[in-house]
Homo-oligomer: A and B are copies of this chain.
Amino acid sequence: MKITKKIVLEEHDMPRQWYNIIPDMVNKPLPSLNPKTMKPLTVEDLEPIFSPSIARQELSQERWIEIPEDVFNLYRIYRPTPLVRASGLEKALDTPAKIYFKNESVSPVGSHKLNSAIPQAYYNKIDGTKHITTETGAGQWGSAMSVACKHFGLDLRVFMVKVSYEQKPFRKAVMNTYGAKVFASPSDTTEIGRKMREQFPGTSGSLGMAISEAVEEAVKDPYTKYTLGSVLNHVMFHQTIVGLEAEKQLEIAGDYPDIVIACLGGGSNFGGIAMPFMRHNLVDGYKTRFIAAEPASCPKLTRGVFRYDYGDTEGYTPLIPMYTLGHDFEPASIHAGGLRYHGAGSIISQLAKDGYVEGQDVQQLETFEAGILFSRVEGIIPAPESTHAIAVAIREALKAKEEGKEKTILFNLSGHGLIDMMSYDKYMHGQLENYEVPQSLIDENVNKIEAIQPK
């Protein structure tokens, strides 16, 4: 039998709406809270930081959200992305399972992040924003925002975690090529940055500090707004284009997934591929399993608690109901920088609480082993983040083999690893290690947030 390797969706079949799962959820996510009033977050609370259209979308309860024409036109540069049958991986594992992956690595910046960067830049443009600020860790989100802002004629300032700024000069060059200004965070251009540099001389920065700097600039000027690359609801909505396309492509292939897998950082990548399929569990009684692959060094679903917590380490954001390790939890410096985040967005967290999402944690060495096998049999070097999803897909395919079951597995290849070869190089030279988070460290950080829970 001839296997169709790549299932291509025609441009005119590309979805025209994003999906918001909230109306279909059994238990709605708890509201995020304004930490000053401890009352549910309003559009007005969000507007000093985000553009009004985004603030409204963040609180939307509409099931389907129209993709604006200008966003759709930019999506067409790289979308629809291919759905690929991982026939090489199936053969290597000798599994009866059918494995498919959605290939988001074909995006011009090499990852799924552009799916939300484009609409975020667009809404800011129509709302009259002139300057955008954002933070970036590994550089994927900053690269994506750079492309999107340049397209809409918005000026972009990126606060890049200092250690990444120094270790990944080419990521910075990517952002510069697209016309963005990049600062090593903590920088001396913001008050909080200067304070951090004084307080912690020689600090290598953190995502929390970078967020604080970007937010400070946004709050200070009415024409400057902040953008975030994951965690929040509107980011999840934008990423559902991934799952909605995959659903159509699987239909072309005459298939439907028994298991959907994606790596979990803040949740937008996972939610983006999972939620469109989860709708059928909620609405039509389907029994698909959804597995969030998280690094063992940052195991929020598998070992965290469901509490209200801040989205950043400094406590500037609203209080979000989430599975969290505590906002002070500092994950070991594994190479999947995009997954080093203490909490999962509120929608994903509620769905996990209600049993619709399973977490599986994966050790670093298992992820690189999976990444190298995948490279060799499918030809694509995956991003270190995406290797987590591959590792879990391999586990499930081997389980299907053991059980002699012909399961259909779908995972998201959220990005390629061509800009992250340093980590592969280290792995091949035996310089990477596994890391088990001590329970005491989780307990300590989780206990700290008891004080900020609503009474």
Inter-chain contact A76/B418, CB cutoff 8 Å: no
The complex is assembled from copies of this chain, and their number is: 2
Known contacts A418-B110, A419-B418, A421-B170: A177-B428 contact under CB 8 Å: yes
Q: A198 within 8 Å of B by Cβ?
A: no
Inter-chain contact A425/B77, CB cutoff 8 Å: no
Once bound together, how far apart are the Cα atoms of A45 and B367, in whole Å? Answer: 47
Q: Among B77, B110, B170, B381, which residue has its beta carbon within 8 angstroms of that of A177?
A: B381
Q: A285 within 8 Å of B by Cβ?
A: no
Inter-chain contact B108/A380, CB cutoff 8 Å: yes
Residue of B nearest to A174 (CB): B421
A1-9, A255-263, A401-409, A431-439 - interface stretch: A1-9
Once bound together, how far apart are the Cα atoms of A302 and B59, in whole Å? Answer: 62
Q: How far is the CB of A43 from chain B (nearest CB, A)?
A: 31
Q: Among B179, B371, B378, which residue has its beta carbon within 8 angstroms of that of A77?
A: B378
Q: A305 within 8 Å of B by Cβ?
A: no
Q: Which residues of B contact A6 (CB under 8 A)?
A: 11, 76-78
Once bound together, how far apart are the Cα atoms of A84 and B78, in whole Å? Answer: 9
Known contacts A8-B10, A110-B418, A381-B108: A177-B76 contact under CB 8 Å: no
How many A residues touch the partner, as a band? 35 or more
Instruction: Tell me the residues in window 141-155 of chain A with beta carbons closer than 8 Å to chain B beta carbons.
Output: 147, 150-151
Residue of B nearest to A7 (CB): B11
Known contacts A177-B428, A425-B176: A379-B77 contact under CB 8 Å: yes
Once bound together, how far apart are the Cα atoms of A30 and B336, in whole Å? Answer: 54
Q: A372 within 8 Å of B by Cβ?
A: yes
Q: A219 within 8 Å of B by Cβ?
A: no
Known contacts A11-B5, A177-B381: A422-B170 contact under CB 8 Å: yes
Q: Which residues of B contact A372 (CB under 8 A)?
A: 177
Q: A375 within 8 Å of B by Cβ?
A: yes
Q: Which residues of B contact A147 (CB under 8 A)?
A: 375, 379
Inter-chain contact B418/A177, CB cutoff 8 Å: no
Q: Which residues of B contact A73 (CB under 8 A)?
A: 5
Which of A109, A150, A171, A379 has the most C-beta atoms of chain B within 10 angstroms of its own C-beta?
A379
Q: How far is the CB of A277 from chain B (nearest CB, A)?
A: 24
Inter-chain contact A177/B375, CB cutoff 8 Å: yes
Inter-chain contact B169/A425, CB cutoff 8 Å: yes
Once bound together, how far apart are the Cα atoms of A190 and B375, in whole Å? Answer: 30
Q: A424 within 8 Å of B by Cβ?
A: yes
Taken residue by residue from 363 to 397, chain A's Cβ proximity to chain B (1 for < 8 Å, 0 otherwise) reads as: 00000000110011111110000000000000000
Which of A8, A174, A177, A422 has the most C-beta atoms of chain B within 10 angstroms of its own C-beta?
A177
Once bound together, how far apart are the Cα atoms of A160 and B379, in whole Å? Answer: 21
Q: A173 within 8 Å of B by Cβ?
A: yes
Once bound together, how far apart are the Cα atoms of A380 and B107, in whole Å? Answer: 9
Q: How far is the CB of A381 from chain B (nearest CB, A)?
A: 6
13 contacts between A and B (CB under 8 A): A6-B11, A6-B78, A77-B84, A151-B377, A170-B422, A170-B425, A173-B422, A176-B425, A177-B371, A178-B376, A178-B381, A418-B418, A418-B419
Contacts A170-B425, A177-B376 known; 10 new A-B pairs at CB < 8 A: A5-B73, A6-B76, A6-B78, A8-B11, A110-B418, A147-B379, A151-B379, A173-B422, A178-B376, A179-B376
Q: Which residues of A contact B (CB under 8 A)?
A: 4-6, 8, 10-11, 73-74, 76-78, 84, 88, 106, 108-110, 114, 147, 150-151, 169-174, 176-179, 371-372, 375-381, 416, 418-419, 421-422, 424-425, 428
